[in-house]
Structure 1
Amino acid sequence: MVSLHEVTRDNWGACAALSVSAGQKQHFPFSVLEWIAESKFEPSFRLRAIQAGNDPVGFAVLGKDPESGEDWIVMLMIDARHQRRGYGKAAMLRLIDELAAQGGERILIGHRPANSAAAALYASLGFVEVERHDAEVVRALRLR
């Protein structure tokens, strides 16, 4: 069972210890610790620890575009030791539920163009490509 938890004083260290594999660093150039630090200066960021039972297995950042007000899943990562167990898809479903409950019309998420695993996961959940740049593919899931 996968659950989401607010990142707090009690669990931030366990979150900061999570990391992707060396081969995935090109898709995830920033560490969890760097995301935690950035959240102190970006007021729209909401951090989520992803847990399987009591074990931290991943990390996500939610945010809101200051101009459009649209919701973003800014970042999602599953620790290298816990990948290929369905945690990414389960976490995405929980994140979608959380954002949908806030009443927005769509959710945006981005990924590196070469990250085929992310592209396949997001497409399987109904996210469609809406923009493509050299460094990022933006996908959207219409809620209403």
Structure 2
Amino acid sequence: MTSITSSPRLEKITPGNLESATGIRVRPDQEHAVTPVVESLAEAYVHPEGVAWPRLIMDGERPVGFLMAFLDIDWYGDGGSVRRSGLWRLNIDAREQGRGYGRFAVASVADEIRRRGGRELYVTWHPGPDGPEGFYLGLGFRTTGETSGDQTVGVLDLTTASL
């Protein structure tokens, strides 16, 4: 396993890096479990300002992944008081997996949620042997017992987590 080679950073998606963002490709065996970046960007475009937080993950001049957070959403969509923030999408390029970029992405979203006053980071994942459950549980997420569609819901307590 090769580790991160420099200081990774997040960049806003712009006309200048759009092609790099949409060029991120996960492994073929993961494609069923993740949404392509281009679809994520379309979703970000149609949601109200501030709900979707899409970012390109860069290591030096090399695009290595894409993340999109959701911030302070009405979780059940019923106008109720349950509001949550978390990691909506995570795509680490197939050539870059296993190098720490996923952990960097989760830590970056945690930092942004904390900056906005949040205390929990939510995520959903496809269950199964080829899914990312081990990755998220290894970072300290716990399952909530809920599902979102066919996905498991997990939460990380940001008051105690150290990523």
Q: Normalised by the size of structure 2, how large is the TM-score?
A: 0.80
CA distance in 2, matches of 1:115, 1:31: 21
Provide the C-alpha distance between the structure 1 equivalents of 2:136 and 2:38, rounded to a whole number of angstroms: 25
SS in 2 for 1:109: strand
Query: Any unmatched runs of 5+ in structure 1?
Result: none
Residue 99 of structure 1 and its aligned partner are, at CA, apart by 1.5
Matched residues, percent identical? 28
Q: Which has the larger radius of gyration?
A: 2
SS at match of 1:138: strand
Q: Within 5 Å, which residues of 2 pair with 1:61-140?
A: 61-64=68-71, 65-66=73-74, 67=80, 68-114=82-128, 118-133=132-147, 135-140=150-155
2:93 is the counterpart of 1:54? no
TM-aligned CA deviation for residue 86 of structure 1: 1.6
- Which residue pairs with 2:17 in the alignment? 11
Tell whether the 8 Å contact from 2:52 to 2:68 is kept in structure 1 after alignment: yes
Structure 1 vs Structure 2 CA RMSD: 1.7
CA–CA distance in structure 1, aligned partners of residues 32 and 11 of structure 2: 27
C-alpha deviation, 1:143, in angstroms? 2.0
Deviates more, 1:134-143 or 1:63-72: 63-72
Given the alignment of the two structures, is residue 39 of structure 1 paired with residue 44 of structure 2, yes or no? yes
